[in-house]
């Protein structure tokens, strides 16, 4: 079933193999016909994770990066749409030499070509491939067919892991293996035999049930891997290693472990459990009403970044969801912001909730609550400053009000052409761009260097026509894109922490290496807390 943790399982397998001295690549196969995740609403599909080269991918790639500390690119993200688009492009290019092009084997062949390409390009020992969806459904059959063909082509170099859920029905109180037996059989019907079954459940799997799965699913009892619910996803590689999944996988390929490098990770997983002091962070956003995904999925990288920073400072974060629209309906509600140690306005699009976000920024600025604005959060901070400090009444972003008298945030010229021509997919300013930091700023100090690179996803920008005015009234432009002179970071003086960034620092935070701006933000939040 969905939400069973395939993404984290994939990331964790990557992690434990990496800790054994092997080079891994992780690939996600998404069954959507969409070319990428960029056009899907976050409440349907969770966060859009942006890779270095600008790929707008499924949020699972975020876990891949956070677990393996490796950068994702478009090579690591496949969708049905991409695969078909490429096959059709090649057909139009006469690349099939006059043959008829068929769903099978041409579509699976293209999937395999892409996967073999990743292995070659990354020079990796292992490619861990996550196939989205559920076995038995129609949507992912071509990916499963590709997986079957991959195995028949590389007999001794491919193995399969089935991630399955073993329910413990309340009244019965006993773990049930039957659904997993059927899942394994349904997989058999596609021509695939699982080598391992990851047994997701509330509890550890016991010997009796391992035997059952062995008998009915054609595996060895020890190849039913225990994967009980955990408090922190960072426990999962540790649990897999405890069950020797790393050694078992290597063994099946006739390989030996070269290193044992999970130590720092094990320590972190242990440390997380011991932290008692808390710091409370409020996220003011709008992607809270969910379809299939929970609200935390919409901002998962932001949440993980807050955790990484807080843990490194010896605190446990308490994260709250604050609905910007509530502040529009009832501005008195803004007072609740005083009870938070820090406030974040994350990325966003469109006009819903914008006025509430601007009110929240104003509140944080005036009440000296540490504020961190991410992308739209920077744009909101600039609008607030323009309206309330520079007295530019009705200043706005042209995304919300194209007729504003003071377009302090305006569409980038190339983007306005994209919007006019309705070229909306994959056309934002995407991926990594350099940023030059200004001496003497909070950001310069946090990063400890002058030139950084961060990932972007936006169409609008601070309007340079207003820059001189904004700066004359005290807005600090702490970082610019050197090539195009675009504002990348703003700060305010005389405030414990007030930073807005046009990029998305949350994509580069790692559990053992928190992002410097998140670290400084949480540090300021802790200072506020301890002062209270
Ligand atoms: N909507 C804004 C823009 O396109 C901000 C985007 C974001 O927050 N990722 O510029």
Q: Which two tokens stand for residue 106?
A: 């041409």
Q: For position 131, which CATH number holds?
A: 3.40.50.300
Q: Look at residue 295 in the predicted model and tell me its pLDDT.
A: 65
Q: Which two tokens stand for residue 294?
A: 């929970």
Q: Look at residue 294 in the predicted model and tell me its pLDDT.
A: 59
Would you say residue 317 lies in a domain?
yes
pLDDT in tens, 179-218: 999 999 999 999 999 999 999 999 999 999 999 999 999 9
Q: Is 376 in the pocket of ligand 1 (CB under 6 A)?
A: yes
Residues 389 and 321 in one domain: yes
Would you say residue 172 lies in a domain?
no
The neighbour count for residue 270, using CB atoms within 10 Å, is 12
Residues 349 and 496 in one domain: yes
Q: Which of 38, 302, 347 is the pocket-test mutation for ligand 1 (most atoms within 8 Å of CB)? A: 347
Helices of type H across 367-436: 376-388, 413-420
Q: Is 299 in the pocket of ligand 1 (CB under 6 A)?
A: no
Would you say residue 43 lies in a domain?
yes
Residues 253 and 334 in one domain: no
Q: Is 143 in the pocket of ligand 1 (CB under 6 A)?
A: no
Q: Is 458 in the pocket of ligand 1 (CB under 6 A)?
A: yes
Q: Which two tokens stand for residue 226?
A: 């225990």
Q: Look at residue 286 in the predicted model and tell me its pLDDT.
A: 81
Q: Which residues contact 376 (CB under 8 A, 6 or more apart)?
A: 345, 346, 347, 348, 349, 357, 458
The neighbour count for residue 499, using CB atoms within 10 Å, is 29
Would you say residue 203 lies in a domain?
no
Residues 259 and 371 in one domain: no
Q: Is 507 in the pocket of ligand 1 (CB under 6 A)?
A: no
Q: Which residues contact 171 (CB under 8 A, 6 or more apart)?
A: none
Q: Is 287 in the pocket of ligand 1 (CB under 6 A)?
A: no
Closest C-alpha to ligand 1, atom 8: 347
For residue 506, indicate whether it is catalytic. Answer: yes
C-alpha of residue 110 to centroid of ligand 1, in Å: 34
Q: Which of 458, 506, 507 is the pocket-test mutation for ligand 1 (most atoms within 8 Å of CB)? A: 458
The SS3 assignment for 75 reads helix
Q: Which two tokens stand for residue 432?
A: 């990594």
Would you say residue 84 lies in a domain?
yes
The answer to pTM > 0.85 is yes
Whole-number Å distance between alpha carbons of 500 and 62: 22
Q: Look at residue 298 in the predicted model and tell me its pLDDT.
A: 85
Residues 341 and 234 in one domain: no
Per the structure, the count of domains in the chain is 2
| Atom of ligand 1 at shortest range from CA of 348 | 8
For residue 483, CA distances in Å to 435, 436, 505 come to: 9, 10, 20
C-alpha of residue 428 to centroid of ligand 1, in Å: 9
Q: Are 101 and 91 in contact (CB under 8 A)?
A: yes
Whole-number Å distance between alpha carbons of 431 and 54: 4
Residues 238 and 317 in one domain: no
For residue 504, indicate whether it is catalytic. Answer: yes
Q: Look at residue 44 in the predicted model and tell me its pLDDT.
A: 75
| Atom of ligand 1 at shortest range from CA of 346 | 8
For residue 390, indicate whether it is catalytic. Answer: no
C-alpha of residue 242 to centroid of ligand 1, in Å: 43
Q: In what order do the strands lie in the sheet with 498-501?
A: 316-323, 278-285, 342-345, 371-374, 498-501, 486-491, 476-481, 429-437, 451-458
Q: What is the DSSP letter of 127?
A: E
Whole-number Å distance between alpha carbons of 502 and 447: 16
Candidate list 461, 491, 506, 520, residue with the active-site label:
506
Candidate list 45, 308, 495, 504, residue with the active-site label:
504
For residue 352, CA distances in Å to 285, 324, 328, 383 come to: 10, 9, 10, 15
Q: Which two tokens stand for residue 170?
A: 């309340």
Q: Look at residue 55 in the predicted model and tell me its pLDDT.
A: 96
pLDDT over 70, % of the chain: 98
Which regions of the chain are under pLDDT 50?
none
Q: Is 506 in the pocket of ligand 1 (CB under 6 A)?
A: no
Residues 352 and 402 in one domain: yes
Q: In what order do the strands lie in the sheet with 196-201?
A: 161-165, 196-201, 224-228
Q: Are 487 and 471 in contact (CB under 8 A)?
A: no
Q: Look at residue 288 in the predicted model and tell me its pLDDT.
A: 65
Q: Can you give the residue range of the structural domain that contains 294?
A: 275-411+461-479+487-531
Candidate list 375, 488, 515, 520, residue with the active-site label:
375
Residues 342 and 261 in one domain: no
């Amino acid at each position: 079933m969905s939400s069973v943790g395939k993404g984290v399982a994939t990331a964790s397998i990557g992690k434990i193999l990496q800790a054994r001295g092997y080079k891994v690549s992780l690939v996600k196969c998404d069954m959507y016909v969409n070319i990428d995740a960029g056009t899907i609403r976050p409440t349907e599909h969770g966060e859009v994770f942006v890779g270095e080269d600008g790929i707008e991918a499924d949020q699972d790639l975020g876990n891949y990066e956070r677990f393996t500390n490796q950068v994702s690119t478009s090579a690591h993200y496949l969708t049905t749409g991409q695969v078909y688009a490429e096959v059709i492009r090649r057909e139009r290019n006469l690349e099939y030499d006059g043959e008829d092009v068929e769903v099978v084997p041409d579509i699976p062949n293209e999937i395999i070509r892409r996967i073999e390409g990743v292995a070659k390009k990354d020079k990796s020992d292992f490619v861990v491939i996550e196939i989205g969806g559920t076995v038995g459904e129609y949507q992912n059959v071509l990916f499963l067919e590709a997986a079957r063909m991959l195995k028949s082509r590389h007999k001794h170099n491919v193995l399969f892991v089935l991630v399955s859920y073993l329910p413990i029905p309340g009244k019965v109180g006993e773990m049930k293996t039957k659904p997993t037996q059927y899942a394994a059989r349904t997989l058999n019907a596609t021509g695939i035999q699982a080598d391992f079954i990851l047994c997701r459940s509330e509890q550890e799997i016991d010997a009796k049930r391992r035997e059952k799965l062995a008998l009915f699913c054609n595996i060895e009892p020890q190849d039913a891997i225990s994967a009980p619910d955990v408090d922190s996803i960072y426990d999962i590689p540790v649990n897999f290693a405890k069950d020797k999944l790393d050694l078992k996988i290597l063994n099946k390929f006739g390989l030996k472990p070269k290193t044992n490098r999970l130590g720092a990770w094990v320590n972190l997983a242990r440390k997380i459990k011991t932290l008692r002091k808390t710091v409370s962070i409020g996220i003011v956003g709008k992607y809270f009403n969910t379809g299939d995904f929970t609200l935390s999925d919409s901002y998962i990288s932001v949440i993980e970044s807050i955790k990484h920073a807080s843990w490194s400072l010896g605190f446990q974060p308490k994260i709250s969801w604050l609905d910007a629209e509530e502040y529009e309906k009832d501005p008195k509600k803004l007072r609740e912001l005083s009870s938070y140690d820090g406030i974040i306005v994350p990325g966003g699009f469109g006009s819903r909730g914008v006025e509430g976000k601007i009110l929240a920024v104003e509140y944080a600025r005036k009440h000296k609550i540490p504020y961190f604005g991410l992308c739209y959060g920077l744009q909101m901070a600039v609008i607030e400053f323009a309206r309330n400090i520079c007295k530019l009444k009705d200043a706005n972003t042209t995304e919300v009000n194209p007729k504003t008298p003071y377009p302090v945030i305006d569409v980038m010229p190339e983007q306005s052409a994209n919007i006019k021509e309705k070229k909306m997919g994959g056309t934002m300013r995407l991926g990594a761009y350099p940023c030059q930091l200004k001496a003497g700023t909070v950001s310069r100090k946090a990063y400890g260097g002058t030139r950084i690179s961060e990932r972007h996803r936006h169409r609008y920008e601070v309007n340079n026509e207003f820059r001189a005015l904004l700066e004359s009234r005290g807005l600090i432009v702490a970082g610019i894109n050197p090539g195009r002179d675009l504002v990348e970071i703003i700060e305010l003086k005389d405030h414990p922490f007030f930073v807005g960034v046009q990029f998305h620092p949350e994509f580069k935070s790692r559990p053992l290496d928190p992002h410097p701006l998140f670290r400084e933000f949480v540090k300021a939040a802790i200072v506020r807390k301890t002062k209270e």
